[in-house]
Amino acid sequence: MSIESHLVENRIFQPSREFSKAARIGDLAEYRKLYKASIADPEKFWAKQAAKLRWQKDWTKVLQWKCPFAKWFVGGKLNVTENCLDRHLEGARRNKAAIIWEGEPGEKRTLTYHQLHREVCKFANVLKRNNIKKGDRVLIYMPLVPEASIAMLACARIGAVHSVVFGGFSAESIKDRLADCGAQVVITADGGYRRGQMVTLKQNVDRAIEGNAAIRRVIVFKRANLDIHIAEGRDVWWHREMDYVTADCPALGFDSEHPLFILYTSGSTGKPKGILHTTGGYLLGAQFTTKTIFDLREDDVYWCTADVGWITGHTYLVYGPLANGATCLMYEGAPNWPEPDRFWKLIADYGVTILYTAPTAIRAFIKWGDEWPAKHDLSSLRLLGTVGEPINPEAWMWFREKIGGSRCPIVDTWWQTETGAIMITPLPGATPTTPGTATLPFFGIDAAIVDDAGKELPANEGGKLVIRKPWPSMLRSIYGDKQRYKDQYWTEVKDCYFTGDGARRDEHGYFWITGRMDDVLNVAGHRLGTAEVESALVSHEAVAEAAVVGRPDEIKGQGVVAFVTLKTHAVVHADLKEILRKHVGEMIGPIAKPDDIRFADALPKTRSGKIMRRLLKEIAGGGGVTGDTTTLEDLSILAKLSKSDD
């Protein structure tokens, strides 16, 4: 780990007195007191918070814990959308903006809570009309338009289980996920806009479900006026269906442990994992963290820049803010369209007060130049947040000064698809911050750094980041594979949830996340399994074997480097590298395209045949091989690999 580089980072920023005074948690001592109590008796703590949600039937037991299987708020019944929508219709929030949306080409729409509620109820009736029932899985593949949220919420309203697939993923990815979750219905759009280009969503769906008789319905939202194929008897238009239904759809109560959604994420094997989240605990995590960590106020204009295809979009664009009755900005497109100041223009135009984004975006902004934010009035901002990867101090400082006017606190939030909600984070009115650290665990979260034997390590020693107690928004399983859930998260360290991340705690108890310890890459804040990219490469006819590693990348955090051996009789086109990159793009999605492909006669392996990734990482990073090579079967391979970069 890069301990030295962190140790020189000793700038400390206290929350401003003004911010602290108005904040929910106003000083560190208060945080520490509440945290201590929350860890001493988490069930009591969570029960108190959960009571603030609207339940149709009270729970009888806060937690039933049979490690590693948790049930929270046992026996309780609730409807997520009643909490996110109906509740707000009773008072002043009825006509408050819930979603302010801007399309990439510039269209503007605002949906009040009343309007959003109507749309969700109507679309829930569309789902019912199409014979979708409680427990059925529904795959959603949409551009970032309000209808993406509406589709998710409509599923939740009737107890259907949504699985959102990021609109940037390929037909092949949709196919895998459909097969795994067994969805029979897909909700999509004709297309969407991205950096001035059209994303052909419906066409990708068509390719993914070709010959798949299990898919009985595709509901298509008209976004881009694309000329698309409509399969008679299978495909229907969203707007036509909406004409057949009323807005009357009661919010039935579902069991607290009823599945809410499945979201696929990368692991260390080739097959993405369907992370399963359930109703009560997830909603509590989303609602309570959004309110506390973003210190949400009634008049905030809150903008989380994530797409609904990622967990950040689920928790902090849809469920968390809506459960708090917040006004959320949603922007469909790229940050540099038509110019690199689109974000700053949006902030000025809508008076955004809270901005939650990713370090990779910040690094891109730095590259594009200070003149772009300088052109706009960003004084409405009062709080900034980041998520997705460790933020380098330079980017943190730039964000603070150039965007936050040295006035806004920054919350560097650590969490995962699996955790459902933020786990380690500053509280903006209480926690002194230092660039590069996510600081302290959130209430009720028993995070620790341990060694291989599970023993907690002293300050500044690097180890495994684990969570020692269950928490409400934790994943419940990997969909359809309890054994994999156990193996993946609960066997590495006894009785603890292993995050897959390495970290250390400093003398103040602050967590410094150093990155993944397994074969998972973090490319532009998005998780990619090396094994996934490898299996995509090997599925190409010319490829015999592939090994994929990460290398540091200035903008994306990590770049993808692939070492590839070709089949003896492979026909080698001059542009084979480009062909393979394109192939990976088609199999997974453009984000997975290797930045660099190196052909080799052989890959470095141990005598037992295991690819020595450590060596490949060193080579990919541009440095020489420094580590131990005594277990390498054929030393001459290394020299060749180092040279083969053309």
Q: Which two tokens mark 36?
A: 């201590």
Segment contacting ligand WTA by CB under 6 A, of 59-67, 246-254, 345-353, 415-423: 415-423
Considering the complex, what minimum distance in angstroms separates the CB of residue 514 from ligand WTA? Answer: 8
Q: Which two tokens mark 574?
A: 């001059």
Segment contacting ligand WTA by CB under 6 A, of 89-97, 241-249, 414-422, 561-569: 414-422
Considering the complex, what minimum distance in angstroms separates the CB of residue 176 from ligand WTA? Answer: 18
Q: Are 73 and 281 in contact (CB under 8 A)?
A: yes
Considering the complex, what minimum distance in angstroms separates the CB of residue 524 from ligand WTA? Answer: 11
AA identity, residue 537 = L
Residue 145: closest CA among 361, 331, 397: 331
DSSP 318: I
Q: Are 174 and 150 in contact (CB under 8 A)?
A: no
Q: Is 169 in the site for ligand WTA (CB under 6 A)?
A: no
Residue with Cβ nearer ligand WTA (68 or 388)? 388
Binding mask 503-522 for ligand WTA (x = CB under 6 A): ----------x-xx-----x
Alpha helices, DSSP H, located in 439-575:
482-490, 530-538
CB atoms near residue 527 (< 10 Å): 21
Residue of 202, 527, 583, 605 interacting with ligand WTA (CB under 6 A): 527
Q: Is 193 in the site for ligand WTA (CB under 6 A)?
A: no
Q: Is 159 in the site for ligand WTA (CB under 6 A)?
A: no
Residue of 416, 434, 488, 530 interacting with ligand WTA (CB under 6 A): 416
Helix (H, G, I), strand (E, B) or coil at 331: strand
Distances (CA, A) of 15 to 19, 294, 352: 7, 14, 20
Q: Is 186 in the site for ligand WTA (CB under 6 A)?
A: no
Query: Using N-to-C axis directions, what is the helix angle for 201-209 and 171-181, rounded to 10°?
Result: 50
Q: How far is CA 7 from the centre of its chain?
A: 29
Instruction: Compute the distance between CA of residue 205 and CA of residue 224 in angstroms, rounded to an integer.
Output: 16
Segment contacting ligand WTA by CB under 6 A, of 26-34, 284-292, 393-401, 410-418: 410-418
Terminal CA-CA length for the chain: 30
Considering the complex, what minimum distance in angstroms separates the CB of residue 277 from ligand WTA? Answer: 12
Q: Is 436 in the site for ligand WTA (CB under 6 A)?
A: no
Considering the complex, what minimum distance in angstroms separates the CB of residue 19 from ligand WTA? Answer: 20
Instruction: Compute the distance between CA of residue 463 and CA of residue 448 in angstroms, rounded to an integer.
Output: 9
**Which residue is nearest to ligand WTA, using beta carbons?**
417
Residue 245: closest CA among 123, 154, 133: 123
CB atoms near residue 102 (< 10 Å): 20
Instruction: Compute the distance between CA of residue 154 and CA of residue 166 in angstroms, rounded to an integer.
Output: 18
Cis peptide before 338 (omega within 30 of 0): yes
Instruction: Compute the distance between CA of residue 254 and CA of residue 549 in angstroms, rounded to an integer.
Output: 44
Residue with Cβ nearer ligand WTA (112 or 312)? 312
Q: Is 438 in the site for ligand WTA (CB under 6 A)?
A: yes
Q: Which residues ranging from 19 to 58 are in contact with ligand WTA (CB under 6 A)?
A: none
Considering the complex, what minimum distance in angstroms separates the CB of residue 244 from ligand WTA? Answer: 38
Residue with Cβ nearer ligand WTA (26 or 500)? 500
AA identity, residue 471 = W
Segment contacting ligand WTA by CB under 6 A, of 87-95, 251-259, 408-416, 612-620: 408-416
Binding mask 274-313 for ligand WTA (x = CB under 6 A): -------------------------------------xx-
Segment contacting ligand WTA by CB under 6 A, of 107-115, 218-226, 413-421, 549-557: 413-421
CB atoms near residue 402 (< 10 Å): 18
Distances (CA, A) of 165 to 158, 367, 507, 630: 20, 30, 41, 44
Q: Which residues ranging from 122 to 151 are in contact with ligand WTA (CB under 6 A)?
A: none
Residue with Cβ nearer ligand WTA (81 or 417)? 417
Dihedrals phi, psi of 108, to nearest 5 degrees: -125, 135
Q: Is 463 in the site for ligand WTA (CB under 6 A)?
A: no
Instruction: Compute the distance between CA of residue 245 and CA of residue 129 in angstroms, rounded to an integer.
Output: 8
Residue 426: closest CA among 623, 289, 593: 289
Considering the complex, what minimum distance in angstroms separates the CB of residue 474 from ligand WTA? Answer: 13
Q: Which residues pair with 502 in a beta bridge?
A: 464, 515
HEC letters along 216-277: CEEEEECCCCCCCCCCCCCEEEHHHHHCCCCCCCCCCCEECCCEEEEEEECCCCCCCEEEEE
Residue with Cβ nearer ligand WTA (138 or 304)? 304
Q: Is 361 in the site for ligand WTA (CB under 6 A)?
A: no
Helix (H, G, I), strand (E, B) or coil at 577: helix
Residue with Cβ nearer ligand WTA (77 or 273)? 273
Q: Are 520 and 527 in contact (CB under 8 A)?
A: yes
Report the relative pairing of strands 557-566 and 543-553 from DSSP bridges.
antiparallel
Considering the complex, what minimum distance in angstroms separates the CB of residue 149 from ligand WTA? Answer: 18
Instruction: Compute the distance between CA of residue 434 and CA of residue 397 in angstroms, rounded to an integer.
Output: 10
Considering the complex, what minimum distance in angstroms separates the CB of residue 416 from ligand WTA? Answer: 4
Considering the complex, what minimum distance in angstroms separates the CB of residue 253 from ligand WTA? Answer: 29
Q: Which residues ranging from 362 to 391 are in contact with ligand WTA (CB under 6 A)?
A: 387-390
Q: Is 194 in the site for ligand WTA (CB under 6 A)?
A: no
Considering the complex, what minimum distance in angstroms separates the CB of residue 390 from ligand WTA? Answer: 4
Residue of 83, 125, 265, 353 interacting with ligand WTA (CB under 6 A): 265
Q: Which residues ranging from 479 to 508 are in contact with ligand WTA (CB under 6 A)?
A: 499-501
Q: Is 184 in the site for ligand WTA (CB under 6 A)?
A: no
DSSP 92: G
If binding means CB under 6 A, how many residues of this protein chain bind ligand WTA? 22
Dihedrals phi, psi of 578, to nearest 5 degrees: -65, -40
Considering the complex, what minimum distance in angstroms separates the CB of residue 264 from ligand WTA? Answer: 10
Residue of 300, 412, 492, 532 interacting with ligand WTA (CB under 6 A): 412
Residues that bind ligand WTA (CB under 6 A): 265, 311-312, 387-390, 412-417, 438, 499-501, 513, 515-516, 522, 527
